[in-house]
Structure 1
Amino acid sequence: MVDEPEREEGNDIHNREIEKEVSVAEVMNKTVITMDINTDIPAIAREMVKHDVGSVIITEKEKAMGIITERDLVRDIIAKDRQPSKVHVSKILSSPLVTVEPETSVVNASEMMLKANIKRLPVLEDGTIIGVVSNTDILMVTPGLSTILKDLIDMNREALLSTPSTDDIEEDFSAGICESCSYHSVDLKLVDGKYLCENCRQAEGEDYE
């Protein structure tokens, strides 16, 4: 029988290897919406809704020069009670673009997001944007969370991994991050106010199946 510390060390090594090998090309959203810098804000918002995306690449003379995200619309227009049709795109877009190459690992992409304090990275190949990778894309496919990815959870907690109250959610949560070992699990269950994976439930010597 493998001791618990040995098992955890083995899992940690395995997860680090997975994280190193997974590239942004494998997890990115290939739907890329581009719009000219002179497009009005309401039209950009409608395109986001139409294509169910959280960002639009802004071009000028067909050259990508910035990005507008849902957060930009909320922070710079809604929160300031500004009239969208009267705000020029150039006033709220994030520029210059911070991009990654398709073969960039999800860990390196995470580090770039944290350093730049952004949640999305356009993926650039031969001068063309072929996709957009977000911190939620990375969190959904990475089974083991390093410190970097935990920081990403904090950045996006409200959107993806906030812990709701027991009044707002059923007992079976299904998938997410175990609050004991911090590993991703597709078999979380609510135990004494915490969402635990199967291993942690068994480690506590209880059968919650």
Structure 2
Amino acid sequence: MNISSILAGKGNNVITAEPEASLGSVSRTLAENRIGAIVILDGNEKVCGIVSERDIVRQVAARGADALDQPISVCMTKKVVSCDRQSTIDEVMGIMTRNKFRHIPVIEGGKLAGIISIGDVVKHKIEQAEREAEELKQYIAG
């Protein structure tokens, strides 16, 4: 199974922000949309960063409430690890586990095509295990 199967179910809509957006506004966007990360796009719609809730918490802990007025570019991860639709779910799960990421953008042809969360991966793996268990029961029952 590959990432396209997850995107087929959840869609390609990704909440994004510009590098100049403030930490405060990005924090509100995360809370309002009940998401854990936001992809940062430059003026050409290219991925130039990603920011997670943890990134914002670290910045506020280090700088206090004044951090909320800073541009999100101060705490975004600039070296974004991504996947594409053909990446396998196991590959993406391995990347997330090794790097302790909870979100990975999906990029196709240099453009943002979606985002995968650890929740998406776990949900898919559980569904896969349930299907396999049901198939095995059917096989045994004959």
Could you say which TM-score interval applies, normalised by the shorter chain? Answer: 0.7 to 0.9
Max radius of gyration: which structure?
1
Q: In 1, are the aligned partners of 2:85 and 2:106 still within 8 Å (CA)? A: yes
Q: Which runs of 5+ in 2 are unaligned?
A: 131-142
In the TM superposition, 1:68-107 aligns within 5 A as 68-77=51-60, 79-80=61-62, 82-83=64-65, 84-107=67-90
Matched, 1:51 2:30: no
Which residue of the partner structure matches residue 134 of structure 2?
A: none
In the TM superposition, 1:104-183 aligns within 5 A as 104-143=87-126
Partner Cα distance (2:127, 2:28) in 1? 36
Which residue of the partner structure matches residue 36 of structure 1?
A: 18
Which residue of the partner structure matches residue 25 of structure 1?
A: 4
Partner Cα distance (2:21, 2:127) in 1? 41
**Which runs of structure 1 show a deviation greater than 3 angstroms over 4 or more consecutive aligned residues?**
none
The Cα offsets for residues 110-153 of structure 1, whole Å up to 9 and x where unpaired, read as: 111223331111001121111110111111121389xxxxxxxx
Q: In 1, are the aligned partners of 2:24 and 2:69 still within 8 Å (CA)? A: no
Structure 1 residue 86: Cα displacement: 3.2
Partner Cα distance (1:144, 1:132) in 2? 19
Residues 33 and 144 (structure 1 numbering): CA distance in 2 closer, same or farther, change over 3 Å?
A: closer
Q: What is the Cα-based RMSD across aligned positions, in Å?
A: 2.4
The Cα offsets for residues 63-91 of structure 1, whole Å up to 9 and x where unpaired, read as: 211101112122332x4362233333122
Partner Cα distance (2:84, 2:43) in 1? 23
More helix per residue: 2
| Secondary structure of 1:96 counterpart | coil
Q: Which runs of 5+ in 1 are unaligned?
A: 1-21, 146-182, 185-209
Which of structures 1 and 2 has the larger relative contact order (alpha carbons within 8 angstroms, sep 6+)?
A: 2
The alignment covers a number of residue pairs equal to 126
| Secondary structure of 2:32 counterpart | helix
